[in-house]
């Protein structure tokens, strides 16, 4: 799971508008790993963080990775596509398991604590409000946004995010339960961020 910093102030996890932001800021971006985000105690430059509802984030990540693998993995045409290796990467079986995907169970928790330590400097922006945020920056010649440009419709084998999610739910039941537990936990910190709520810190 990676993050991008745009214009040295706007932080976004991948799958939170980053492909569109890449077009706008081009070379004016820096990549960060999850570990680097967790290790940041204070930040002097980040003014805004973009997030989206965790279920939307997960659906977009699964859609990206399953469709890409299905369309680019070489295999016998008579052998059914097996999404299990991909879904296993998304599932969390222990705290030591890395999630090398466009989703991580602790994205929202990590962003929450980063925001909480720097709460007087950082605004939280929901992805659906990204366009209005960018307009306020007075960026010239903003690229026209069309959601279809970001849905991988160029793949020969294509389906919607909802269809991918249903495919996972019906065919990988135990994995689905694991994913939904991750989303439920992520929702706690997503809501804290959206409400700018300070929770008590307990060390014991």
pTM for the predicted model, two decimal places? 0.90
Report how far residue 162's alpha carbon sits from residue 168's, in angstroms, rounded to the nearest whole number: 10
Q: Which of 174, 193, 202, 158 has the alpha carbon at shortest distance from 66?
A: 158
- 98 located within any domain: yes
- 204 located within any domain: no
Report how far residue 150's alpha carbon sits from residue 136's, in angstroms, rounded to the nearest whole number: 23
pLDDT of 33-64, one tens digit each? Answer: 888 888 888 898 999 999 999 999 999 999 99
Going by pLDDT thresholds of 50, 70 and 90, the confidence category of residue 204 is confident
- 138 located within any domain: yes
Report the number of distinct structural domains present in the chain.
Answer: 1
pLDDT of 20-40, one tens digit each? Answer: 999 999 888 899 888 888 888
Report how far residue 145's alpha carbon sits from residue 177's, in angstroms, rounded to the nearest whole number: 34
Q: How many CB atoms neighbour CB 5 within 10 A?
A: 19
- 63 located within any domain: yes
- 34 located within any domain: yes
Nearest-10 Cα torsion for 160, 166, 172, 177:
120
- 127 located within any domain: yes
Percent of the chain with pLDDT over 90: 59
What pLDDT does residue 97 have? 56
- 23 located within any domain: yes
DSSP string for residues in 39-77: T----SS--EEEE--HHHHHHHHHHHHHHHHHHH----T
Domain that holds residue 135: 2-195
Report how far residue 48's alpha carbon sits from residue 132's, in angstroms, rounded to the nearest whole number: 13
Tokens at residue 66, please? 């399953």
- 201 located within any domain: no
Report how far residue 43's alpha carbon sits from residue 123's, in angstroms, rounded to the nearest whole number: 13
Higher-confidence residue of 95 and 10: namely 10
Residue 54, classified by CB atoms within 10 Å of its CB into exposed (0-12), middle (13-18) or buried (19+), is: buried
What pLDDT does residue 47 have? 95
Higher-confidence residue of 26 and 97: namely 26
pLDDT of 174-200, one tens digit each? Answer: 999 999 999 999 999 999 999 999 998
């Amino acid at each position: 799971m990676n993050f991008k910093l745009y214009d040295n102030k706007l932080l976004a996890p991948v799958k939170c508008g980053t492909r569109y932001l890449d077009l706008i800021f081009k070379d004016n971006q820096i990549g960060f790993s999850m570990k680097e985000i967790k290790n940041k105690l204070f930040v002097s430059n980040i003014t805004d963080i973009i997030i989206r509802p965790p279920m939307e984030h997960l659906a977009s990540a699964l859609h990206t990775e399953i469709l890409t693998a299905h369309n680019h993995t070489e295999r016998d045409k008579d052998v059914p596509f097996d999404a299990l290796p991909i879904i296993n990467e998304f599932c969390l079986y222990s705290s030591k398991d890395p999630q090398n995907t466009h989703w991580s169970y602790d994205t929202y928790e990590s962003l929450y604590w980063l925001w909480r330590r720097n709460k007087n400097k950082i605004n939280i922006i929901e992805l659906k409000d990204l366009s209005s945020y960018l307009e306020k920056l007075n960026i010239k010649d903003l690229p026209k946004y069309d959601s279809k440009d970001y849905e991988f419709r160029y793949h020969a084998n294509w389906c919607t995010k909802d269809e991918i999610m249903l495919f996972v739910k019906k065919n990988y039941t135990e994995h689905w339960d694991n994913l939904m537990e991750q989303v439920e936990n992520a929702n706690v910190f997503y809501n804290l961020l959206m409400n700018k709520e300070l929770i008590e810190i307990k060390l014991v």
